[in-house]
Structure 1
Amino acid sequence: MRTTNGDRRRSVLAALCTALVIALAGIPAAGALFANYTVLPNGTAYNASVEITSASEYMFSDVGIMGENVPVQVGNVQLSGNCSPCTYNWSRPWGAPASITFEKGNYTVSYTEPLQDNTLQGTFDSPYQVNVTIPEEFDVRNPLLAGISQGGVAIRHGDNTTTVQWIKTVVFNVRFYDPGREELLWFFLQFMGILVLVLVVIPWMLSMKKAE
């Protein structure tokens, strides 16, 4: 069967679209770097694994109130990539964040860092896909106790662990809580409910009866 001119044009267009899709599939997605964080069961520290590209230095710091780099204490630092072993040099300026330097290239930096107030946060110079794994002892589902920065999605797994994921972000923040804090919250809400009942609702009902 001979195709008409319109059919041929549609066929050519479909072929071009297919070729474009194949070509785009071979191009790495922008901002495809990963940063994975795993909170330890006691909630006092976490393990981090951060990909870096075309880098020769990595600084260990947190973000201060004014946006400044605040020194943090890290341990179990490892550098991995197309090298065996991957070596680095420490730099610990007085009063400034520590850093490691190495031959320029693409690497994964792994380390352990203490955690305070059940809050984990970080910033990046370029977009990252961030995954934070929270153990079963903690939760993020109660908005009165937990907090997840914009773009984060919490996934509760069958083993009661939680993964909070940001697909493409330069800053993230997650706050989690333990069952004790949730029980304390419910106790406080119940106490406040009783106070409202005793101090507001009952006096109002009695005043209504007197008015009658």
Structure 2
Amino acid sequence: MRTPDRDRCRFALAALCIALVAALFVPAAGALNATYEVLPNGTLYTASVDITGVSKYMFADTGIMGENIPIDITNVNVTAENRTPVDFNWTRIWSAPSVITFPNGNYTVNYTAPVKDSHLQESFPSQYHVTVNLPANLSVENPLLAGISQGANVTRFADNTTRVTWNKTLSFDLRFYDQNRETLLYIFGNFWIIFAVILLVPFLLLRRDNKP
């Protein structure tokens, strides 16, 4: 017996509603997670990076020309999907980035690395959900001092900590600042305002005296 058109329409509508609800409440697939936590001193960060279907991981920063630049890392550990620690081997070649190797699979790589000039950046071989957490003494709100790559979502919490996220990105770039840099910026700006006033006042007085 053929299903009536009205029943088929109702079934299609119900299926569409279920798909929409699933899209809202089920996290999007196809992207891994990378989380970076900047420590309060602003000179170190901890990273937790998911990897899948690989047998090695390279610790490198991205140079101006896109080249791999070695970074100094400590506290390295690798965990499997069930959070079980995984043994790995180091490969260190002079002037080249360090590489760790392990059995092919899906893992999370954790490590600590230095922050250079209040600047964090990373490129990925596939799409990642990226999260960068900043402590209360660091900020990205002032565009004259901070820099954030496109697609970022910035959240400032009540305790003055900041979270910056990118959804499905192949790279990110973040520059932050502390209160001392912001204070210096205000002092520098006020100095130039005063300097401009000092230069303009004699000029304005001279124009006034020369008026007929």
Q: Do Structure 1 and Structure 2 share a fold, with TM-score over 0.5? A: yes
Distance 1:96 1:56 in 2: 18
Distance 1:12 1:181 in 2: 61
Q: Aligned pair in 2 of structure 1 residues 25, 155: CA closer, same or farther (>3 Å)?
A: closer
Q: How does 1:116-195 map to 2 (within 5 A)?
A: 116-195=116-195
**Offset at residue 15 of structure 1 (A):** 3.3
**Paired letter, 1:184:** L
Q: Aligned pair in 2 of structure 1 residues 193, 103: CA closer, same or farther (>3 Å)?
A: same
**Offset at residue 206 of structure 1 (A):** 3.1
Which residues of structure 2 form unaligned runs of 5+?
A: none
Secondary structure of the 2:66 match is coil
**Offset at residue 6 of structure 1 (A):** 6.5
Distance 1:189 1:6 in 2: 72
**Offset at residue 29 of structure 1 (A):** 3.1
Distance 1:165 1:24 in 2: 20
**Offset at residue 111 of structure 1 (A):** 0.0
Give the total of aligned pairs. 208
**Paired letter, 1:79:** V
Which residues of structure 1 form unaligned runs of 5+?
A: none
**1:104-124 Cα shifts (integer Å, max 9, x gaps):** 100000000011111111110
**1:35-70 Cα shifts (integer Å, max 9, x gaps):** 000001111110000000101000000011211101
Secondary structure of the 1:188 match is helix
**Offset at residue 196 of structure 1 (A):** 1.5
Given the two structures, how large is their TM-score scaled by the length of structure 2? 0.89
**1:149-192 Cα shifts (integer Å, max 9, x gaps):** 11112111111110111112111111111111111100111111
Secondary structure of the 2:40 match is coil
**Paired letter, 1:10:** C
CA contact (8 A) 2:92 2:99 kept: yes
Distance 2:22 2:136 in 1: 43
User: Identity percentage over the alignment?
Assistant: 48
Q: Does 1:11 align with 2:22?
A: no
**Offset at residue 201 of structure 1 (A):** 5.1
Distance 1:15 1:138 in 2: 48
**1:89-109 Cα shifts (integer Å, max 9, x gaps):** 000012110010000100000
Aligned match of 2:199: 199
Secondary structure of the 1:187 match is helix
Q: Aligned pair in 2 of structure 1 residues 22, 44: CA closer, same or farther (>3 Å)?
A: closer
Secondary structure of the 1:111 match is strand
Secondary structure of the 1:96 match is coil
Aligned match of 1:105: 105
Aligned match of 1:90: 90
Q: Aligned pair in 2 of structure 1 residues 201, 9: CA closer, same or farther (>3 Å)?
A: farther
Secondary structure of the 1:66 match is coil
Secondary structure of the 1:193 match is helix
Given the two structures, how large is their TM-score scaled by the length of structure 1? 0.89
Distance 1:22 1:185 in 2: 48
Superposition RMSD in Å: 2.3
